[in-house]
Structure formats: structure tokens, C-alpha cells
């Protein structure tokens, strides 16, 4: 069973997926990206530095690379003999969710650029790589900013002030865009308001939601 953990940057996805991986013995986790992915980390740094002519290539790389990694994770899941109905493949953000970023990052480019991305996106993203259930972690902008600095990712902290308007715009569209994407792909989802919860409380709620989903879709 593929379960996605979704939400704005610094909403607590990685923390939750790590806890879920520890909790469910028969599970594997696909992180959004590897710290060893030099292409991604370089392009992310360039993106935050506002290098020109990068937006489309960055968005295309992110979705194509993520889908390739999902396919590898599914193959690993099967090789381990895990049960598609009982066991879990957790995704730290899912492929179609990257469309939210494209909506913001490509909006000021010529319309033909977004049309090209749409065509690429529709050709690449298939139901096979998508989760059947997603937990969306909701967070206020203020808490997003606090968590971003707390987790200490250098590229984000060093470039926060110059990208503050971008982060705010992304935050403002994220939840509604996520819901539209989930509905478009017929993905079931639940939303956890994480703002007044500890990491353990978020984890407890997530486990309950997964249990309920599993029981209702046995």
C-alpha cells in the first residue's frame, strides 16, 4: 500500500515518515530527495539564487527523478516480498504534488512553457506511482518559517530573505492546489492541523488515520 505524506516545505513530512517507518516493521520509505543527489542540490541552490533559465529544467528534473525513484522503491517493495494490501511504502511527498511548485515557479514564463510542462507531466505521471491514501500536514506560515530555520538546511536559511515572497506565495496556493490534484487523480486524503500538536501527537493521529483507511479499504 502506497501512503503519501504531503504538505508545505517544513511541515513535518520527513519527521513523520521516519516515525512511521520505525513503527511499521514491514514498510519502506522513499524520501523526497537524497542529500547525495548532487544534481538536485545544485539546482535547488541555483533556484534559490534565482539563476535565469532554470525553472522548467528544474521542475522537469524533479518530477522525472522522483518517478524513477518511486519505480525503484516499488521494485524493492516487491523484492522484499511485502504485501501490497498489508504493508506500506511511504512517500515523503508524491510525484503529482510537485505540480504545486510548477504552478508558482512557471507562472511568469510564456504560456507555451507551462503547456510543455503539462504535456510532460501528463505523459510521465501514472496511477502506478501515485499513493492510494495521503496525509496532508497543515501548518501556518509562521510555523513554517520557524520550522524551516529549526531544521537548519543551509540552502534554505541562506536564501530565505531573498525568497520570502516566493515562500509566501507557495504557502498561499499549496493546500488548495494539493486538494485539486488529489481530486483530479482520485486520491483519498486526510488533513492534520499540526499547528498546536507535538511531533508525537501528529504521529499518533497519522497512525489512527492509516488504521482507519486500511480497515475501510480491506
- The verdict on whether 193 is a catalytic residue reads no
Model confidence pTM above 0.85 = yes
Backbone dihedral region for residue 93 (phi beyond 0: left; psi -120 to 50: alpha; all else: beta): left
Which CATH number is 119's domain given? Answer: 3.40.50.300
Task: Please tell me whether 12 is known to bind a ligand.
Answer: yes
Question: Total domain count for the chain?
Answer: 1
Q: Was 152 annotated as part of a binding site?
A: no
Which residue among the candidates 92, 118, 138, 183 is catalytic per the annotation? 92
- Helix/strand/coil for 95: helix
- Give the domain extent around 99: 2-216
Mean pLDDT of successive 10-residue segments in the chain (218 residues)? 96 95 95 84 94 93 94 96 95 94 94 94 93 97 94 89 96 97 96 97 98 89
Q: Are 181 and 100 in contact (CB under 8 A)?
A: yes
CA distance 62 to 4: 17
Amino acid at each position: 500500500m502506497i501512503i503519501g505524506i504531503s504538505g508545505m516545505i517544513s511541515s513535518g513530512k520527513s519527521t513523520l515518515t521516519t516515525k512511521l517507518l520505525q513503527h511499521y516493521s514491514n514498510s519502506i520509505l522513499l524520501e523526497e530527495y537524497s542529500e547525495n543527489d548532487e544534481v538536485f542540490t545544485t539546482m535547488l541552490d541555483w533556484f534559490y539564487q534565482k539563476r535565469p533559465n532554470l525553472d522548467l529544467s528544474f521542475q522537469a528534473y524533479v518530477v522525472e527523478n522522483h518517478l524513477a525513484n518511486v519505480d525503484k522503491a516499488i521494485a524493492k517493495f516487491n523484492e522484499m516480498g511485502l504485501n501490497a494490501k498489508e504493508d506500506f511504502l511511504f512517500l515523503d511527498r508524491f510525484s503529482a504534488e510537485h505540480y504545486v511548485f510548477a504552478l508558482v515557479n512557471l507562472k511568469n514564463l510564456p504560456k507555451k512553457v507551462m503547456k510543455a510542462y503539462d504535456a510532460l507531466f501528463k505523459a510521465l505521471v501514472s496511477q502506478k506511482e501515485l499513493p492510494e491514501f495521503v496525509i496532508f500536514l497543515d501548518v501556518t506560515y509562521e510555523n513554517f518559517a520557524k520550522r524551516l530555520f529549526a531544521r537548519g538546511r543551509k540552502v534554505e536559511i541562506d536564501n530565505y530573505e531573498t525568497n520570502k515572497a516566493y515562500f509566501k506565495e507557495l504557502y498561499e496556493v499549496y493546500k488548495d492546489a494539493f486538494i485539486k490534484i488529489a481530486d483530479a487523480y482520485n486520491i483519498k486524503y486526510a488533513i492534520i492541523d499540526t499547528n498546536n500538536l507535538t511531533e508525537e501527537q501528529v504521529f499518533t493521529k497519522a497512525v489512527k488515520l492509516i488504521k482507519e483507511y486500511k480497515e475501510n479499504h480491506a
